[in-house]
Amino acid sequence: MKKAFLLFFVMLSVSLIQAKTALVIIAHGSPSHAWNGPVLRLESKLDSLHIPGIDYCRVALMEYSEPHIATVMADCERQHVDTVFALPLFIQPSSHSEQDIPNILGLRYNAMTQAELKEEGLATVHTSMHVVEGPTLAYGDLLQRCLLKQVENLSKDPDNEALLILAHGDPEYLGFWEAMLAESAEYVRQHTKITHIGTGLVEMGQQMVTDVSPLLQDAAKHKRRILVQGVYLTSSVYGMAARFGLIRQQSDILKAYPSTEVVYGKTGLLPDFTDDICQWIVATTREWKSGVYQN
């Protein structure tokens, strides 16, 4: 009996010693290598940081490009990982972070979402690993701090400037996005001399011109220099404004205010704020690990 107990204790101890925890960062993914590149490079950066309690770090893309979530999770299994802390690298809670990713990871079952994932060719995960999904980038003040730095880089004369803060948004989670924009505007207002700040949730394509035009016109009533900065992971508001015709149509939009200068932000969060995002990831992971140990 004593030998059996001792053998059980030894096997349990070995099992605990060999237990591995992986950190998996999940981003949306894009057909564009320029979009994916800064996200995928987070993997080597995080691996070099040696996060306490994390044995393995990977970055996964939800769609369009490898490595897909299922690919990375299969790799974690090959590495004998027991627990995965999955962090969705999304600006705010959305249908992706609250429905798609949990359904892909097997944390949630929604028949409609499962059917949509199958139609899009996205493989779901079937694993014995314990998977925990963490928060989006909205957790904490990371977005506000990064936005402030972007605005300060664009600003030359804050007393005579207006600011527009743009984001994509998600119709199903508008409350989160509107709150983020309001908090961001207040944060910039408190840390700069810019007083006129407008915000908007903007659709892509031609709709961007429709959505942003009244915001530009309203800002031009108050100031002659308008800063436009987006809260996007890797995309720049300048790139989108050029691609979807906003810059081309700007003179017509502001024909009543011909002397107005509009300056568009040319950076997303990545790669400029790679270090800030990595610090946020480390802090969030440590907080989760601390909670695990307390339990």
Angle, alpha carbons 52-58-62 (nearest 5°)? 135
**Contact 269/145 with Cβ under 8 angstroms?**
no
Q: Around 5, how many Cα atoms within 13 Å sit in the side-chain half-sphere? A: 2
Q: In the prediction, which pLDDT does 1 show?
A: 53
Contact (CB, 8 A) for 22 and 85: yes
Give me the numbers of helices (H) and strands (E) for the chain, helices first please. 13, 8
If pLDDT is split at 50, 70 and 90, which confidence band does 11 have? very low
Name the phi and psi angles at 273, rounded to 5: -110, 35
pLDDT in tens, 168-203: 999 999 999 999 999 999 999 999 999 999 999 998
pLDDT value for 205: 84
pLDDT tens digits for range 256-272: 999 999 999 999 999 99
Determine contact, residues 126/106, Cβ cutoff 8 Å: yes
With cut-offs at 50, 70 and 90, classify the pLDDT of residue 204.
confident
Per-residue pLDDT tens digits for 152-165: 999 999 999 999 99
d(CA 75, CA 145): 35
**% the chain with pLDDT above 90:** 91
Cβ pair 174, 209 in contact under 8 A: no
| Residues 67-88: tens digit of each pLDDT | 999 999 999 999 999 999 999 9
| % of the chain exceeding 70 in pLDDT | 93
Strands 83-88 and 21-27: parallel
Q: Give the position of tokens 């001399």.
A: 193
For residue 19, is pLDDT > 90? no
Measuring CA to CA, which residue among 203, 172, 30, 22 is closest to residue 97? 172
Q: Which residues pair with 61 in a beta bridge?
A: 27, 68
For residue 151, which amino acid is it? V
The pLDDT of residue 166 is above 80: yes
pLDDT at 14 over 50: no
Q: What is the pLDDT of residue 291?
A: 85
pLDDT band for position 292 (50/70/90)?
low
- Please give the domain boundaries of the chain with CATH numbers for all domains: 12-137+273-294 (3.40.50.1400), 142-264 (3.40.50.1400)
The pLDDT mean for the chain works out to: 93
